[in-house]
Amino acid sequence: MTEALSDAEHRFPCNSCGADLRYAPGQTELRCDHCGQVQAIPEMPASARSRALGELDLARGLRDDLPQDAMEAPRQTPCPNCGALVAFEGAVHAADCPFCATPVVIGTGTHRQIKPQALIPFQLPEAAARDAMTRWLGRLWFAPGGLVDYARKGRALSGIYVPYWTFDAATRSRYSGQRGTYYYETRSVTETVNGKTQTRQERVRKTRWHGVSGWVARAFDDVLVLASQSLPRRYTEALEPWDLTALTAYRVDYLAGFSAEGYTVSLADGQTHAQQIMAQVIRQDVRQDIGGDEQRINQVSTDYRDETFKHVLLPVWMAAYKYNSKTYRFVVNGQTGKVQGERPWSIWKIGFAVLAGALILGAVIYAAQMQ
């Protein structure tokens, strides 16, 4: 997703040779892959940066009543295979989906969406991300050896800014439940040992329950929710944690040479998921407030106040490799280098392992019989 700027404003031509500049991960500069020219990214004024990183009112966002400067009309279309919202710039009308490598062609027309306010720039260069992915694949038992070689020698990884929502809220929760307190009783136990009946004493733990109720309060800041449906949530959750203190005000300079996906999870759906995350934390607060040795929670009713949100982009290196007619997807956190992906299995390796195990077992049995 990019701002609705003219084609010329989306390009960053090199002052030396005219080729397109690319953002250099981990730096605040653009570099030319053709001649090596470096161009610094201008620093944003403090006032503009503060406005860009500010929270938006959630109620207004849900009503589609945000200020005009918080909205945009990007050129994008969903991938027919995985559903990713692929963005197009300039006169480009066709491209491969960076999530599954399916060819995508855009039609005409646009629709309004909420602009990204902030992003974490890529910190990890493509070569480092590829090394991290190759090491991860190499540690997988029974992964096809050819897949590791193909990943090492295959096409370059795609650098993609993936959309997320962040949510803030002040919560106050009324609960009812039970507090369990342990106590012990002594009882006599009769048992037979070596044909003789014996009686012994033992302590038995029991729980005494008392009804309780009360209030807990917690302020949530930047609860992170994936705003894309193109990747399984378990992949992106495995890339966490993100250091959100590294968020910087959104500007297209950081997108030079990279892609950015538009969000496909609505703000309302994002809020629902964020409240589910908050509810898990609140239940832990309730258990701590109930105290005792065990807790039972009967009911929790939460009021949400001062709800705000941001639309942010986080950096992910991605590869979609086809091996033996099957597509494998791998993602690398562009900030920390954590890797996650689909688990490939080699039928041949599994078969050889089973055969080797059977041979070893047979050898052990044969040796035992000979003895």
Q: In whole angstroms, give the CA distance from residue 133 to residue 174.
A: 46
Considering its fold, how many domains does the chain have in total?
2
Domain with 108 in it: 7-176+211-353
Question: 226 and 202 in one domain?
Answer: no
pLDDT for position 2: 35
Question: 158 and 185 in one domain?
Answer: no
Least confident of 4-18, 53-67, 270-284: 4-18
Type of residue numbered 312: V
β-partners of residue 183 are 206
Q: In what order do the strands lie in the sheet with 38-40?
A: 21-23, 29-32, 38-40
| 367 occurs within a structural domain | no
Least confident of 162-171, 191-200, 250-259, 355-364: 355-364
Question: 92 and 15 in one domain?
Answer: yes
- Whole-structure pTM over 0.85, yes or no? no
Tell which wins on pLDDT, 2 or 350. Answer: 350
Question: 203 and 325 in one domain?
Answer: no
| 290 occurs within a structural domain | yes
Tell which wins on pLDDT, 281 or 356. Answer: 281
Question: 124 and 215 in one domain?
Answer: yes
- Write down which residue in 190, 210, 230 finishes a domain: 210
pLDDT for position 54: 86
| 38 occurs within a structural domain | yes
Strands 294-323 and 118-119 turn out to be: parallel
In this prediction, residue 91 has a pLDDT band, given cuts at 50, 70 and 90, of very low
Question: 240 and 139 in one domain?
Answer: yes
Question: 189 and 135 in one domain?
Answer: no
pLDDT for position 232: 81
pLDDT for position 226: 95
Type of residue numbered 88: F
pLDDT for position 120: 95
Q: In whole angstroms, give the CA distance from residue 208 to residue 206.
A: 7
pLDDT for position 350: 46
Q: Say if residue 203's pLDDT is above 80.
A: yes
Question: 73 and 93 in one domain?
Answer: yes
pLDDT for position 4: 34
| 361 occurs within a structural domain | no
Question: 197 and 106 in one domain?
Answer: no
In this prediction, residue 225 has a pLDDT band, given cuts at 50, 70 and 90, of very high
Q: Say if residue 317's pLDDT is above 90.
A: yes
Average pLDDT over residues 140-159: 64
| 360 occurs within a structural domain | no
pLDDT digits (tens, 9 = 90+) for 280-302: 999 999 999 999 999 999 999 99
Whether the Cβ atoms of residue 218 and residue 168 lie closer than 8 Å to each other: no
In this prediction, residue 147 has a pLDDT band, given cuts at 50, 70 and 90, of low
3-state secondary structure of 100: coil
pLDDT for position 189: 83
Question: 226 and 190 in one domain?
Answer: no
Question: 279 and 201 in one domain?
Answer: no
Across all residues in the chain, what is the average pLDDT? 81
| 296 occurs within a structural domain | yes
H helix runs in the chain, sequence order: 7-10, 46-52, 58-62, 126-138, 145-153, 233-238, 267-290, 347-370
| 108 occurs within a structural domain | yes
